[in-house]
Chains A and B, each alone.
Chain A
Amino acid sequence: MALENFIDTLLNLWVFAFIGILVWLYFKKESDTIKAESQERDIER
């Protein structure tokens, strides 16, 4: 039971960390270089 709980905690910690990373990535400001690269592609298009 203790091992099951431990594995369950580990698996869910991974999920919580992943959700945290997603939220951080969404709000993170991208550098001007990346924006310029993306705009360049839009212009090429």
Chain B
Amino acid sequence: MFKNPLLLIALILTGLVAIWGIIDPAGLAHFSSTLTGVLFTSRAWFIMLSVSLLLILCIWLAISPYGKIKLGKDDDEPEFSTVSWLTMLFAAGMGVGLLFWGTAEPLSHFKVIRDYTDNFHAAEHALFVTNFHWGLHAWAIYAVTGLVMAYFSFRKGYPILVSSPIKAVFGQRTWTRSVGWLSDLLAIYAIAIGIGGSIAMGVFQIQSGVESLLGLHNSGLWLAAVIFAVLCLSYILPLMVDLSKGMATLSNTAMAIAGGLLIFVLLTGPTYYIMSAITGSIGDYFARVVPHGFKTYTFFDENVTNWFQSWTLTFMVWWFAWAPFVGVFIARISKGRTIREYLIGVILVPTFFSIFWFGVFSSVGFYGVLKLDAPILEVLKTNINDTTFFVLRHLPLSTLSIIATVLAAFLFVVTSVVSASFVLSMFAVGGDVNPPTRMKLIWGVILGALGLVMILSNSIDAVKSIIGLAALPFVFIVLLVAVCLLKALKSEEV
């Protein structure tokens, strides 16, 4: 196994980050935030231009004659019904992030924006910016990555690897082998760090939920350590035995709980207020989304540029970190669909779902702040992890809804780690869809160690900057493989 240099270097690289973070979490956090700050300042324009171009590419491919091309042989039919396919897309996009940020993100934006305008416009813009972060642009990054993998794998017969399009289009040369190898390495690195961040976010979320249920205050690292240990034990078993059906059930259960929570908050919260906010935000979003993709806040003060870097740019590179992982998943379930069907499904459906999700959770928060004068902004400042639970505590059946949130967060993290270990092992062994168990276990341990590093940093901002740093190089890879796709499409007869 260790004769494979890609695997060895990937393990050393991620292992070193894990060891550094365990020995000196503050040092790693400081290093990442400083470097991310420098890179974000210099390359903000490039990141925003790239995500906007990826969205425009998706729209163009969907309406162009290339939209008729099948992701597979011409007579291949989709493996899953459209309803199951769309549900699975929900599951891919529905992670612990939505549970964590549902109320916290729009209110964090509100806190900054209200210094520049009145509260009502600030709330409206805060919701728009949140939808921007989780909407079309985010899904365009996933869609292009998944599309390239699906096209070269199912239509051209190459293994599902990030390097495949480069070798397929430019042939087996020294530079394609080197760049391909580096692309696979960067994909592995970005996935590993990204999932480590998700583990930390999940643990922070579960910790706040447990504290809320047990009436604990500032339990500190001991409770986080207990939750982390339980999480690790829970994902080790599925890595050792083939539980693909069981994992699908767990993932669907998490989805069902999250969906139930959404409906519960909609019905028990101020329903008219929530529905009005959602309706307004749909119009606002689609009217402004494309121009906003090019916005870089160049002429604003430092406060705004810092906010832009720590939110918009961080989220955009965060999606790049997840792109190879989510891309593989979306590609695998989309065989037999046309490019047009694929793009419409992958980009539009999860975007509408996100608008609905944030519409519900942000409106409950804004209702508390603007109408009831509830101290949610104080909670946001002192303990951001508790924001969702603070809102739930003010609705009926709060114990039940908090248990449901904790359970959903737990299941989302377990299923993410198991799937990521599978994808990482697959990449490390050259695209083999049945990677050895030992390999999956090794990745499980590495992901756990990276999660621990992020937990030890004890700050969601540190988690964001560590992920940002790991994901930035992958922006270049996604653009390169997009060019490979465009070049390959030129030879298609449409």
Contact = CB atoms under 8 A, between A and B. Distances in A.
Contacts of A25: 170, 480, 483, 487
B43 interface: yes
Contacts of A41: 156-158, 168
A42 B479 CA distance: 25
Interface string A1-27: 000000110011001001000100110
A11 B486 CA distance: 27
Contacts of A12: 42-43, 46
B396 interface: no
B120 interface: no
B46 A15 contact: yes
16 contacts: A7-B38, A11-B39, A12-B42, A15-B43, A15-B46, A22-B479, A22-B483, A25-B480, A26-B486, A30-B169, A37-B171, A38-B156, A38-B488, A38-B491, A41-B157, A45-B156
A8 B43 CA distance: 9
Given A12-B42, A15-B46, A22-B479, A44 B157 contact: yes
Interface of B: 38-39, 41-43, 46, 73, 155-158, 168-171, 476, 479-480, 483, 486-488, 491
A38 B42 CA distance: 39
A34 B487 contact: no
Contacts of A26: 483, 486-487
Given A18-B476, A22-B480, A26-B486, 4 more contacts: A15-B43, A31-B171, A33-B171, A38-B169
B215 to A, nearest CB: 49
B125 to A, nearest CB: 29
B491 A35 contact: yes
From B39, B43, B488, name the one whose CB has the most chain A CB atoms within 10 angstroms.
Answer: B43
A30 B173 CA distance: 12
Nearest to A18: B476
A31 B157 CA distance: 20
Contacts of A8: 41-42
Contacts of A34: 169-171
B285 to A, nearest CB: 29
Nearest to A11: B42
A13 B207 CA distance: 45
Contact of A45 (B38, B73, B480): B73
Given A22-B479, A25-B487, A26-B486, A45 B157 contact: yes
A33 B486 CA distance: 19
A17 to B, nearest CB: 11
Contacts of B486: 26
A41 B156 CA distance: 6
A37 B488 CA distance: 13
Nearest to B166: A25
A12 to B, nearest CB: 6
B487 A42 contact: no
Nearest to A16: B46
Contacts of A30: 169-171, 487
B264 to A, nearest CB: 46
A5 B154 CA distance: 46
A35 B491 CA distance: 9
B337 to A, nearest CB: 17
Given A22-B483, A25-B487, A11 B43 contact: yes
B410 to A, nearest CB: 40
Nearest to A34: B171
A33 B169 CA distance: 11
From B39, B42, B158, B169, name the one whose CB has the most chain A CB atoms within 10 angstroms.
Answer: B42
B156 to A, nearest CB: 6
A23 B51 CA distance: 17
Contacts of A7: 38, 42
Contacts of B168: 38, 41
A11 B488 CA distance: 30
A44 to B, nearest CB: 6
A33 to B, nearest CB: 7
